[in-house]
Each structure stands twice: as structure tokens, then as C-alpha cells.
């Protein structure tokens, strides 16, 4: 009897384990459904953003740059965005002259033309009216678009679907019936991608508000949502813009919104500098700065910060010295990248590459060895990046430079200080491709070398090792040639 009872208890426990196993599977399934969706590129419930957008989509900013979504999808990181011109009052949290509303404001759809009964309209991005995209007709006068949205929420509930259809107008129900008929060739009315391709007329007859932004230039539209065009293409006899930034298609696809465009008379960064230079008081300087726009002012401020940090007098000598990069950015603010080498400040165009031998000095003489590398135009279009170019000194000339300028090669590891290494590297940087390779290889092999006996025991290393010093020339494949070149400084 005791044996039977023991077996019964064991079987009961096994049943409990199986039951618990099923529960664990359910918990796992539930956990899977709660996997964070931030980062999947879709705007899920509770998320403000998911992915990267143009700055203008994230707030009151110019479209220069991108706004990225933060790690929990709760807000945009707009640190790289430039705020709109203060004179553009839309988005300043108050209704100014010429504005109907402010960004973020809503209004009951029932107060708008169109017999709407449900929803709240949002203020348009230009603050000059209301966007009825979220509006619909309630009761028995609901349009096809309402039926469509309602049915999508029903899932597989047929009773819910019937209720949605019953609330539509005769016209709405008829338009939905046509869409539903066509949707049979797709995955149903929820298959929006298929509907927009294969049921174009039926889908947009039912859902006309979706036409703006569907990627097709429909009747009455002159552009598509989020489409942009260069501001200067909007120039007229009365209004012209700087060759920078882009206009954005408005929320109804009926025109171009030039809020990011900059007036042709606004001062560039360097024009602000020249204007301020002639001022004698702060009010004059403020007036100069007020004539520019945020991007230009940011570059101007960056240059001034450099000059102040270096306790530098604002003059051409200082600007071409310690703050040359920032000053160059100011000088070529609008011209660098326009496919024209604009004199006097530009010498090349952004993205341009040339053979190192094509770079000449003031006398027209080559400054670097030809056919040994390429030089690239820097981001300010003011000079070439020559990190891959070689000068003209031979290996023996480099060693002479090290003897004269650096006190010779180190006589021990203790003498191989950071200062000494920097000096030797400077001499090596004046070398030809072969000369620099031989001299640099010789030094680096010694610094990385250690003696080792037959048993593998490590002895003296680097400049303390006479063996390393003796073997370095052959290991570096260095003949240390002494070809003379008049362009070598030694």
C-alpha cells in the first residue's frame, strides 16, 4: 500500500511539473510580446519617435542636419539642429500677426468647414490654418475613410466590421464596397501597400486625405509631402534667397514652404565679421549680427571663441595663425562646395583630389613628390590635405636633420623621450617616400627590438641593445641613400 501511494504521489508531482512547464511557456510567450520595440524603425504605441528625421520634422528648426531619436524613443535629440530665424514667429508659442494658430494647438473638428463631427485638428506647420487630417464625420454621416479605419481596428471580429459599415453614409458605404471588392486581390483592406499600388483609384476615393504624401503627384498637387527643392529655385523679382537650404512641400501638397530659406541680403559669416570690425560700440555689433541667420552666426561665434581662448587680437595675422581653420570656415561659409573655386579664399573645391606633385608653392615649384600619393581639398576649400604626400629629403638628409635638430639619435632608452621622438618624426616627415620609409623603419625597428638568447631569455631592448642597433639597417632594408635634392631643407 505504501508503495502504491508513493507511485501515486510521484505521478501527481509529474503532472504538476508538466502543468508548470505549460505555464512557463505561456509566461515566455507573454514576455516575448513585451520585448521593447524602440529601435525597430516604427512608431509604436507610447513612442514619440523611432529613427532619424530631418531637423525640421523634429521642431522649430532649419532642415540642415538630422535629429536622432534617443535610446528610449521618448524624444528627439536636436543637439545638431539649428533653430529657425527668430523673425519666423511660427513656433514661438504665441499667435502673431498673420497666424491662425500656433504649433501644438488643436481645435475641435466640428468647428471647421466640412461637416466634421469627430476629432481634433492640429495647427498647420506654417501656423496659417488647421490640418483636418484627423477629422471625420460621426453618427450616420461617416465617410468611407472612417469605415476603413474602423474596420482595420476590428481585426477578425465580423460583428464589429458590420457595425463600422452601418455607420457610414450611402456614398461612404458604396466607396468602401468598391475598395473591399478590389482588396480581395490583396491581403484585405489592411494591406495598405498593396491597395495603394493595385487599387489606387478605389483607395484614394475612399481615403482622399492620404493623397498628399502617397508619392504620386495627383491632380491639384504641385509637390509631395516631405519633398524639398533648393530655395533659390523660388526666386522672383521681388524675393530672392541665399544659395543655401531647401524649401519643403507644405502639409497639403499645394505649395512650397520657404520657412528655412534665407533672404539674399542676409550677411554671410565673413560679412558679419567685416561689419563688426568697423563698429565702435556693442549696439553696432548687435545690429551687424542681427542681419545674419543662425548657421552663419554659429560659424562666426566659433571663430570668435577660438580667438578669445587664444587671447588673440582679431586681425588677419591671428586669423591666419592659431585660428586659421575656424577663420577659413567663416570666409568660405557659402562658397565652399558650390563646384566653383571662389577666389581669393578658396584654392580648390570640396571633394577634389590631385596628385601630390601638382601642389605648387608661390613660385610655381612642386612642394611634394609626384606620383607618390593624392592630396584632397579640405572641408573649407582653403588648402589640400597632404597627409599622404612626401617631401624630398633622402634618408641620409633625414639623419643629418636628426643630428642637427634633435641632438642625434638616442644613446639609451632613457634618452628616447617623447620630445626626442617628436623631433625625429618631424625630420622624417620631410623625407621622400623612400627616404622617409628607410629612416622611419630604422628608428621604429630599434624601438621595438629586444635581444634574445638560445633559451629564449630576453635581454637588452631598444636603444640599450647594441645588437638591435647593428641589425636595424638590414632589417629595415635601408641603404640610407644620400641623393641630394635642392628642395630638401638639409
Residues 191-218: what's their mean pLDDT? 83
**Is residue 174 scored above 80 in pLDDT?**
yes
Residues 296-323: what's their mean pLDDT? 83
Residue 93 covered by a domain: no
Whether 419 and 448 share a structural domain: yes
Phi and psi angles of residue 28, each rounded to the nearest 5 degrees, phi first? -65, -40
pLDDT tens digits for 221-232?
Answer: 889 877 899 999
**Is residue 29 scored above 50 in pLDDT?**
no
Residues 278-298: what's their mean pLDDT? 92
Least confidently predicted of 83-87, 154-158, 217-221, 359-363: 83-87
Residues 101-106: what's their mean pLDDT? 78
Residue 14 covered by a domain: no
Least confidently predicted of 129-138, 299-308, 473-482: 129-138
Mean pLDDT of the chain: 83
pLDDT of 315 reads: 67
**Is residue 178 scored above 60 in pLDDT?**
yes
pLDDT tens digits for 216-268?
Answer: 887 778 898 778 999 999 999 989 998 888 888 887 788 888 888 889 999 99
Phi and psi angles of residue 90, each rounded to the nearest 5 degrees, phi first? -65, 120
Whether 146 and 202 share a structural domain: yes
Whether 407 and 379 share a structural domain: no
Whether 426 and 470 share a structural domain: yes
**Is residue 305 scored above 60 in pLDDT?**
yes
**Is residue 132 scored above 90 in pLDDT?**
no
Least confidently predicted of 120-129, 197-206, 468-477: 120-129
Residue 77 covered by a domain: yes
**Is residue 24 scored above 50 in pLDDT?**
no
The cell numbers describing 459, all together, are: 635581454
Residue 340 covered by a domain: no
Whether 460 and 420 share a structural domain: yes
Whether 377 and 418 share a structural domain: no
Whether 327 and 358 share a structural domain: no
Whether 169 and 194 share a structural domain: yes
pLDDT tens digits for 453-480?
Answer: 888 888 999 999 999 999 888 877 777 8
CB atoms within 10 A of CB 6: 10
Residues 77-93: what's their mean pLDDT? 75
Residue 19's pLDDT band (boundaries 50, 70, 90)? very low
What is the percent of the chain with per-residue pLDDT over 90, rounded to a whole number?
A: 34
pLDDT of 268 reads: 92
55 versus 175: the higher-pLDDT residue is 175
Alpha-carbon torsion (212, 250, 48, 215), positive or negative: positive
Residue 263 covered by a domain: no
pLDDT of 322 reads: 84
pLDDT of 355 reads: 94
pLDDT of 49 reads: 86
Residue 98 covered by a domain: no
Cα dihedral 43, 49, 51, 53 in deg (nearest 10): 120
Round to whole Å and give the CA distance between 276 and 247: 30
21 versus 435: the higher-pLDDT residue is 435
Residue 420's pLDDT band (boundaries 50, 70, 90)? very high
In Å, how far are 95, 368, 444, 470, 479 from 436, measured between CA atoms?
Answer: 68, 13, 12, 20, 12
pLDDT of 438 reads: 92
**Is residue 65 scored above 90 in pLDDT?**
no
Highest mean pLDDT among 170-184, 418-432, 447-461: 418-432
Round to whole Å and give the CA distance between 438 and 444: 10
pLDDT of 366 reads: 92
What is the percent of the chain with per-residue pLDDT over 70, rounded to a whole number?
A: 88
**Is residue 126 scored above 80 in pLDDT?**
no
Round to whole Å and give the CA distance between 430 and 487: 10
In Å, how far are 414, 466, 477 from 451, measured between CA atoms?
Answer: 18, 9, 19
> Which range marks the domain in which residue 380 is found?
353-363+370-385
357 versus 454: the higher-pLDDT residue is 357
CB atoms within 10 A of CB 313: 9
Residue 27 covered by a domain: no
pLDDT of 131 reads: 80
The cell numbers describing 428, all together, are: 622624417
Residue 123 covered by a domain: no
pLDDT of 3 reads: 36
The cell numbers describing 364, all together, are: 610655381
Whether 423 and 464 share a structural domain: yes
Q: Which of 163, 194, 210 is the last residue of a domain?
A: 210
489 versus 386: the higher-pLDDT residue is 386
Residue 490's pLDDT band (boundaries 50, 70, 90)? low
Highest mean pLDDT among 188-202, 305-319, 394-408: 394-408
Q: Number of structural domains, the chain?
A: 5
pLDDT of 142 reads: 74
pLDDT of 35 reads: 52
Residue 27's pLDDT band (boundaries 50, 70, 90)? very low
Residues 92-118: what's their mean pLDDT? 77
Q: Which of 78, 117, 83, 122 is nearest to 100 (CA)?
A: 122
383 Cβ partners below 8 Å, 6+ apart?
328, 347, 348, 377
Phi and psi angles of residue 450, each rounded to the nearest 5 degrees, phi first? -140, 145
**Is residue 21 scored above 50 in pLDDT?**
no
Whether 407 and 378 share a structural domain: no
Contact 346, 379 (CB under 8 A): no
pLDDT tens digits for 376-390?
Answer: 999 999 999 998 999
Residues 399-411: what's their mean pLDDT? 95
Least confidently predicted of 23-27, 41-45, 185-189, 433-437: 23-27
CB atoms within 10 A of CB 476: 20
pLDDT of 413 reads: 95
Whether 358 and 420 share a structural domain: no
The C-alpha angle with vertex 329 and arms to 325 and 332, in degrees rounded to 5, equals 130
Q: Which of 162, 194, 210 is the last residue of a domain?
A: 210
Amino acid at each position: 500500500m505504501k508503495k502504491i501511494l508513493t507511485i501515486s504521489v510521484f505521478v501527481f508531482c509529474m503532472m504538476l511539473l508538466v502543468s508548470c512547464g505549460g505555464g512557463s511557456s505561456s509566461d515566455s510567450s507573454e514576455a516575448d510580446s513585451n520585448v521593447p520595440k524602440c529601435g525597430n524603425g516604427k512608431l509604436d504605441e507610447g513612442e514619440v519617435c523611432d529613427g532619424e528625421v530631418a531637423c525640421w520634422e523634429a521642431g522649430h528648426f532649419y532642415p540642415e542636419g538630422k535629429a536622432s531619436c534617443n535610446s528610449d524613443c521618448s524624444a528627439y535629440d536636436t543637439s545638431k539642429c539649428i533653430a529657425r530665424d527668430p523673425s519666423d514667429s511660427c513656433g514661438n508659442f504665441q499667435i502673431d500677426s498673420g497666424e491662425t494658430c500656433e504649433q501644438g494647438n488643436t481645435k475641435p473638428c466640428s468647428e471647421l468647414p466640412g461637416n466634421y463631427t469627430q476629432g481634433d485638428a492640429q495647427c498647420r506647420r506654417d501656423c496659417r490654418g488647421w490640418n483636418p487630417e484627423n477629422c471625420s464625420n460621426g453618427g450616420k454621416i461617416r465617410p468611407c475613410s472612417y469605415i476603413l479605419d474602423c474596420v482595420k481596428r476590428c481585426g477578425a471580429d465580423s460583428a464589429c466590421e458590420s457595425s463600422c459599415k452601418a455607420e457610414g453614409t450611402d456614398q461612404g458605404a458604396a466607396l468602401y464596397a468598391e475598395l473591399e471588392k478590389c482588396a480581395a486581390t490583396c491581403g484585405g483592406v489592411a494591406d495598405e501597400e498593396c491597395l495603394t499600388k493595385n487599387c489606387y483609384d478605389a483607395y484614394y476615393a475612399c481615403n482622399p486625405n492620404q493623397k498628399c504624401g502617397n508619392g504620386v503627384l495627383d491632380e491639384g498637387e504641385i509637390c509631395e509631402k516631405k519633398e524639398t527643392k533648393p530655395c533659390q529655385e523660388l526666386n522672383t523679382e521681388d524675393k530672392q534667397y541665399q544659395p543655401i537650404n531647401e524649401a519643403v512641400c507644405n502639409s497639403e501638397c499645394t505649395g512650397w514652404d520657404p520657412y528655412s530659406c534665407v533672404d539674399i541680403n542676409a550677411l554671410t559669416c565673413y560679412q558679419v565679421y567685416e561689419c563688426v570690425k568697423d563698429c565702435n560700440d556693442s549696439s553696432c555689433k548687435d545690429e551687424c549680427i542681427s542681419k545674419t541667420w543662425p548657421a552663419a552666426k554659429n560659424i562666426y561665434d566659433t571663430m570668435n571663441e577660438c580667438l578669445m581662448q587664444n587671447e588673440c587680437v582679431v586681425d588677419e595675422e591671428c586669423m591666419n595663425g592659431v585660428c586659421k581653420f575656424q577663420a577659413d570656415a567663416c570666409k568660405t561659409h557659402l562658397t565652399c562646395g558650390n563646384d566653383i573655386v571662389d577666389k581669393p579664399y578658396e584654392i580648390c573645391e570640396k571633394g577634389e583630389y590631385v596628385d601630390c606633385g601638382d601642389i605648387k608653392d608661390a613660385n610655381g615649384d612642386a612642394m611634394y613628390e609626384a606620383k607618390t600619393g593624392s592630396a584632397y581639398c579640405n572641408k573649407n576649400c582653403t588648402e589640400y590635405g597632404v597627409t599622404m604626400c612626401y617631401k624630398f629629403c633622402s634618408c641620409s638628409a633625414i639623419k643629418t636633420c636628426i643630428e642637427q635638430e634633435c641632438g642625434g639619435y638616442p644613446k639609451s632608452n632613457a634618452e628616447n623621450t617623447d620630445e626626442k621622438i617628436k623631433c625625429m618624426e618631424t625630420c622624417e616627415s620631410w623625407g621622400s617616400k623612400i627616404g622617409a620609409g628607410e629612416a622611419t623603419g630604422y628608428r621604429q625597428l630599434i624601438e621595438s627590438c629586444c635581444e634574445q638568447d638560445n633559451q629564449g631569455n630576453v635581454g637588452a631592448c631598444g636603444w640599450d641593445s647594441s645588437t638591435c642597433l647593428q641589425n636595424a639597417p638590414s632589417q629595415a632594408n635601408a641603404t640610407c641613400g644620400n641623393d641630394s635634392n635642392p628642395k630638401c631643407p638639409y
